[in-house]
Amino acid sequence: MSKKDTTEKILKCAMSLFSKKGYNVVTTKEIAKEAGVSEMTVFRHFESKKNLFEKAFNEYVFLPNFKFIFEKNLEWDLEKDLLKISHIYQDVLSKNKKIILM
């Protein structure tokens, strides 16, 4: 398995566990077990549980929403595009309030 594949697997498992149990309850040992890697591998890839959470959140919550707007929805009008981006940002924050507050 490549480093990228391992990172992706850890991120997916972490996000799944964080969303089910909450940040404080989930351990890096549990994430490693779910991903089929050692706990040391989790730390080699992310250095800390906090860093892992931030990367998982960005990868699965923020990026998909912004990728959509930048790939398909820009009007190339600065004011309209900035308003659209800010609305999406607020919407993402609002929909994910529980996860953000973790």
Check pLDDT > 90 for residue 91. no
Structure token digits, residue 19:
């969303």
**What's the CATH class of domain 3-101?**
mainly alpha
Model pTM above 0.85: no
Report CA 24 to chain centroid distance, whole Å. Answer: 16
53-81: b or e for each residue (b if 16 or more CB lie within 10 Å)? bebbbebbbeeeeeeeeeeeeeeeeeeee
Place 95 in a pLDDT band, splitting at 50, 70 and 90: confident
Q: What is the pLDDT of residue 92?
A: 76
What tens digit of pLDDT does each residue of 45-73 get? 999 999 999 898 888 777 777 777 788 77
Q: Which amino acid is at 38?
A: S
